[in-house]
């Protein structure tokens, strides 16, 4: 899951980013409202500090320099950005919560918060955005638990690296969706990660070895797709 963290407190931002990356999230962190608005607005480009990328979730502080979190949230929604937004703030008054939710936030967590609760809320928002209620992703004989990061094949555990897991979960969440290599890279890497020229292909190859060559179909010149089960195996 690719996450944008908008937080001006260096200690909180650093600890949240580290904890989430250890959980397998790709996290980009900006420290003011203007940068948060720019980064959170998709542009269709390659992503980067000056260019909005496609995020699965935005973690947004309210008390930001240059532009408040509420202003950022209202501007994102006015631009048609539907990315789920989870507000992280020290403001615990009911009026502040109501204002945030009415401005378009999907959830609200008051500081200080437990990182396990944060991760659980993030997974819940991801499920809702994908239109599913079941916490376990299933595809044929494969089961994947985003919260515990456990994967099984025919009931037997399968060990995956962090990026293999992230790639498989993205594909399993949207069977039938054709992903370009650039789109898959966006799900796997944050701005400060070094990306090799063929890393996505390497992870695709590893997943095929573990789950079978038919799991992921190559659409020549376009990208990759995990076919819907009713479509039959890929090539």
Instruction: Please report the DSSP string for 36-81 in residue order.
Output: HHHHHS--SS--BTTB----SEEEE-SS-SSS-HHHHHHHHHHTT-
Give ranges for CATH 1.10.10.10 in the chain: 137-231
- CA-closest candidate to residue 91, choices 113, 73, 58: 113
- The CATH number of the structural domain formed by 2-129 is 3.40.50.2300
Question: Residue 131: is its pLDDT beyond 90?
Answer: no
* Cα–Cα distance list, 193 to 37, 86, 102, 186 (Å): 22, 24, 35, 11
Look over the chain and give the mean of its residue pLDDT values, rounded to a whole number.
Answer: 86
Asked if residue 156 lies in contact with residue 14, where contact means CB atoms within 8 angstroms, the answer is: no
Average pLDDT over residues 2-7: 94
The Cα 202–Cα 90 span in angstroms is: 43
Question: Residue 150: is its pLDDT beyond 60?
Answer: yes
Give ranges for CATH 3.40.50.2300 in the chain: 2-129
pLDDT digits (tens, 9 = 90+) for 165-218: 989 998 998 899 999 988 888 878 777 666 655 788 999 999 999 999 999 999
- The CATH number of the structural domain formed by 137-231 is 1.10.10.10
Quote the pLDDT of residue 140: 92
Q: Which residue has the higher pLDDT, 195 or 61?
A: 61
* Cα–Cα distance list, 142 to 25, 61, 151, 182 (Å): 21, 37, 7, 25
Q: Which residue has the higher pLDDT, 233 or 139?
A: 139
Quote the pLDDT of residue 173: 87
Extract the runs of DSSP E, i.e. beta strands, from 57-200. 57-60, 85-89, 107-110, 137-139, 142-145, 150-153, 156-157
Task: Calculate the CA 30 to chain-centre distance.
Answer: 16
The Cα 187–Cα 26 span in angstroms is: 7
What's the CA dihedral at 71, 74, 75, 78 to 10 degrees?
Answer: -160
Percentage above 90 pLDDT, the chain: 53
Quote the pLDDT of residue 194: 64
pLDDT digits (tens, 9 = 90+) for 134-144: 888 999 999 99
| pTM over the 0.85 mark | no
Average pLDDT over residues 62-71: 93
Quote the pLDDT of residue 221: 84
């Amino acid at each position: 899951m690719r996450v944008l963290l908008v937080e001006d407190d260096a200690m909180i931002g650093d600890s949240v980013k580290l904890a989430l990356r250890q959980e397998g999230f790709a996290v980009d962190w900006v420290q003011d409202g203007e940068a948060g608005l720019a980064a959170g607005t998709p542009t269709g480009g390659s992503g980067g500090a000056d260019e909005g990328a496609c995020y699965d979730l935005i973690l947004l502080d309210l008390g930001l320099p240059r532009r408040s979190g509420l202003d950022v949230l209202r501007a994102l929604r006015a631009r048609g950005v539907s990315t789920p937004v989870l507000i992280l703030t020290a403001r615990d008054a009911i009026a502040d919560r109501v204002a945030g939710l009415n401005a378009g936030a999907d959830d609200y967590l008051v500081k200080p918060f437990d990182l396990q609760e944060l991760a659980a809320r993030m997974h819940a928002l991801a499920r809702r955005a994908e239109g599913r209620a079941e916490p376990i992703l299933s595809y044929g004989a494969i089961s994947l638990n985003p919260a515990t990061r456990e994967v099984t094949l025919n009931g037997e555990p399968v060990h995956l690296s962090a990026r293999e897991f992230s790639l498989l979960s993205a594909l399993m969440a949207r069977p039938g969706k054709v992903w370009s290599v650039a789109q898959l890279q966006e799900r796997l890497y944050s701005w400060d990660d070094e990306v090799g020229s063929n890393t996505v292909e390497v992870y695709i190859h590893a997943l095929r070895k573990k789950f079978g060559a038919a799991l992921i179909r190559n659409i020549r010149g376009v990208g990759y797709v995990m076919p819907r089960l009713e479509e039959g195996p890929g090539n």
